[in-house]
Structure 1
Amino acid sequence: MADVIAWLLVVVIAAYACAGGTDYGAGFWDLLAGGAERGRRPRWLIDHAMAPVWEVNNVWLIFILIIMWTGFPVVFQAVFEALWLPLVLAAVGQVLRGAGFALRKPTRRLAQRRVYGAVFAISSLLTPFFLGAVLGGVASGRVAVGTEASADAWANPTSLMAGLLAVASTAFLGAVFLSSDARRFGAEDLVGYFRVRASIAFAALVVLALVALPVTRDDAHYVWNGLTSGVGLLCSILSGVCGLAALLFLARRLFGWSRYAAVATVALAVLAWGLAQRPYLLPTTLTVSDAAGAAHSLRWLGIVTLVAVVLVGPALVLVYRLDTKGRLEPLTDSDTSAAELPGDNL
């Protein structure tokens, strides 16, 4: 049962990396959109694309915390003791990001909207970086039961590369989804705009992955062995193939397929990490079986998770499907022609 719950945790992390990562990626491109006039159109699209589902994606983060806390309490304690600082910074980024996004749209004064927009965009960059740094600290073997908090636990070469890879992955996801949203909202000029950015993000992702190989070989050798052999290597290769397929689908304007391929790119990368790390939850000191909670707790966790999947899963699928169909936020003619936002002339 412990192995089932562990793989369930990997699946949920992959779901959050894809769903939440898309939102973070939109914030990344919001940050790089330019000044008020130059960035008006991309930011208009980002606001419309994110508004219906940006809070829904955090459901996956709640699942991660519950599964870790209930299924593997020793791991939960060790990670939060050793890596509390980047986790707190990521949590603060989540709060500031949500506040910035929620307050920017109704604000009528341009100066205030710029402040809220900057908070949203910068937090969208820092939050995935710190979350990636946490995963890097775990993968490098610097986190064990009883490890005290220190800068080395998360400010190390593997954590740095994992943080940068997380940011590049979100940028890639965000650009692919926004290119599709641009077509759906009738903003044809933004289709090419975000298609170019998707290509740039994927190129950055490939470069960072290549740089990460020698870094992890020296700094996280156990995980490096798993990523460069067996099923872990296969998943890594398939992840790259799916990334290339996503760009090809975008070029051929097959937007639905491009989304699926982009999601598969990130999901397979997370799966490769999970396969590379097995059988450890904390390489190379704590295995899945040693970290598992009581047997009855695992059984009840499995039952509750199954109930949650039955009750919440269809609702999430419906929300995402309605969003991709553009049915959650009715658009007017002025919306699809990118009319000036309130306060642009203030």
Structure 2
Amino acid sequence: MDLPTVWFVAIAVLWTGYFVLEGFDFGVGMLLPVLGRGPEREADRRVVINAIGPVWDGNEVWLITAIGAMFAAFPAWYAGLLSGFYLPLLLVIVALIGRGVAFEYRGKSDDPRWRARWDAAIVFGSAVPAFTWGLVFANVVRGVELGPDGVVRSGLADLLNPYALVGGITTLALFVLHGAVFLALKTDGPVRRRARAAARAAAPAAAAALFAFLMWTQADHGSPATVVVAAVAVGALLAAAALLARGREGWAFAATAVAVAGTTAALFGALFPAVLPSLLDPAFDLTIAGAASAPYTLGILSWIGAGFLPLVVLYQSWSYWVFRRRVTRAHVS
């Protein structure tokens, strides 16, 4: 493969890593009021938050790296994406900021109303990106009103089309399930039991949404290669539900991770070889070759990526290993 194609694949891998890792973070945040209830409400909510406490901010590094790689390797793609999706991406940024602040500030006061407000910010800051990323990437695959000057003319109303809305619902449901399975794996006691129940309840909706979205993607934008990836993603999600019913939380979490990764791979596969299709005229499509940086720039980036990316993966793997034990009420009392 030439360097532009290599970097397209690399960016797809970075986004896949982000959705797999941050996806369960979003799911955990959305499930906070569902799993933290009853007489021991505050203790259970602390268990839920502590389950992702050591890793959530590290998971966001994948987003920074993915967007930075797009800026360096495909500046025209970066410009079109950030300008054409300005309002949805601004909403994501505001939600992520509010979510990060909420994690840090909810424990600064014993006032229940104080904690309730920050808990609402965690739910909002998790649900908004979970839905919006599906909306954005569905629109990227579908295409936007991109003119010959590279300017995106689509407005917010154009982005709220049926296909993109189904994409947003799919990622929202998929991340809820991913987060519930993660909590079933990472916690014990009442939170674990509620997480398993939440996962069983979320699995049918997530599977139905994923099947509908990927079949729609395949019908309009797919290829023989993407149909295989889409089938793997749906099959992995069904396998996760079966594994969870047998108490195999570890394998169930691996299966939901495969489902998230397969969904992302199917979207990037449907997009290839374009990076931003035009609904006005296929001649205006922004392609890998047309959006890429100069070969010298891509060569330098390749050396930098080859040197630093393994270190990031090793460090993050080490952090997950260190904090691998289950979280219980005893750890927060």
TM-score of the aligned structures, taking structure 2 as reference length:
0.89
2:249 aligns with one of 239, 248, 255? 255
Q: CA deviation at 1:35?
A: 5.4
Aligned position for 2:232: 238
1:126-152 deviation per Cα after TM superposition (whole angstroms, max 9, x unaligned):
122122221122112115321135113
**Who is 2:193 aligned against?**
192
What corresponds to 1:111 in structure 2?
A: 113
| Partner of residue 64, structure 2 | 62
* TM-score for both structures, normalised by structure 1: 0.86
Partner deviation per Cα, 1:259-303 (whole Å, 9 max, x = no partner): 211111110111111111211111251221121111111111111
How much has 1:204 moved relative to structure 2? 1.1
Which residue type is aligned with residue 197 of structure 1? A
Aligned-residue CA RMSD in angstroms? 2.2
Counterpart for residue 142 of structure 2: 140
Residues 255-294 of structure 1 mapped to structure 2, 5 A cutoff: 255-283=249-277, 284=282, 285-294=285-294
Give the whole-Å Cα distance in 1 for the aligned partners of 2:83 and 2:158.
11
The unaligned stretches of length 5 or more in structure 2 are: none
For these two proteins, the number of residue pairs brought into alignment is 322
Report deviation, 1:173: 0.8
Letter in structure 2 aligned against 1:169: L
Question: Measured at CA, do residues 224 and 74 of structure 1 come closer, stay the same or move farther in structure 2, by a change above 3 Å?
Answer: farther
Q: For residue 288 of structure 1, what is the amino acid of its counterpart? A: I
Matched, 1:335 2:319: no
**1:23 corresponding residue in structure 2:** 25
Contact 1:132 1:166 in 2 (8 A): yes
The AA in structure 1 aligned to 2:198 is: R
User: What residue ranges of structure 1 are gaps of 5+ in the alignment?
Assistant: 218-222, 340-346
Letter in 2 for 1:165: T
CA distance in 1, matches of 2:298, 2:12: 16
Matching residue of 1:344: none
Amino acid at match of 1:203: P
Following superposition, the deviation at residue 73 of structure 1 comes to 0.5
**Inter-partner Cα distance in structure 1 for 2:210 and 2:133:** 17
In the alignment, which residue of structure 1 is the partner of 2:163?
A: 158
Q: Distance in 2 between the 1:42 and 1:245 partners?
A: 28
Counterpart contact for 2:35–2:195, Cα < 8 Å: no
Q: In structure 1, what residue type is equivalent to 2:193?
A: G
Which residue, out of 31, 34, 45, partners 1:32?
34
The range that moved more, 112-121 or 37-46, is 37-46
C-alpha contact (below 8 Å) 1:28/1:171 kept by paired residues:
yes
Helix, strand or coil: the match of 1:324?
coil
State the shift of 1:52 in Å: 0.8
State the alpha-carbon separation in 1 of the partners of residues 133 and 311 from structure 2: 28
Between 1:172-181 and 1:241-250, the stretch displaced more is 241-250
How many angstroms apart in 1 are the aligned matches of 2:61 and 2:214?
A: 32
1:202: which partner in 2?
203
> Quick check: 1:180 aligned with 2:180?
no
Change (3 A) 1:225 1:102: same
C-alpha separation between the residues in 2 aligned to 1:209 and 1:310? 31
CA displacement at 1:39 relative to structure 2: 4.5
Tell me by how many angstroms 1:248 deviates: 2.4
Amino acid at match of 2:137: L
Structure 2 residue aligned with 1:295: 295
Match of 2:324 in 1: 324
Q: Secondary structure at the match of 2:275?
A: strand
Deviation at 1:201, TM superposition (A): 2.0
Residues 86-109 of structure 1: CA deviation (Å, up to 9, x unaligned): 000000000001111211133211
- CA displacement 1:35-94 (0-9 Å, x = unmatched): 564744542321220111111011100111111100110011111111100000000000
Letter aligned with residue 164 of structure 1: I
| Cα distance, 1:33 vs structure 2 | 4.0
CA distance in 2, matches of 1:67, 1:279: 18
d(CA) in 1 for partners of 2:254, 2:207: 19
The answer on 1:167 being equivalent to 2:172 is: yes
The aligned amino acid for 1:265 is A
- Over residues 211-250 of structure 1, what are the superposed CA-to-partner deviations in whole Å (9 max), with x where a residue is unaligned? 4367x47xxxxx64444x4121111111111112222222
Distance in 2, matches of 1:291 and 1:31, equals 44
Matches within 5 A, 1:93-112: 93-112=95-114
Change (3 A) 1:63 1:166: same
Deviates more, 1:162-171 or 1:83-92: 162-171
Hey, what's the Cα distance between the residues in 1 that align with 2:261 and 2:49?
25
Cα distance in 1 for partners of 2:37, 2:265 equals: 38
Question: C-alpha distance in 2, partners of 1:334/1:244?
Answer: 31
Q: Distance in 2 between matches of 1:240 and 1:266?
A: 9
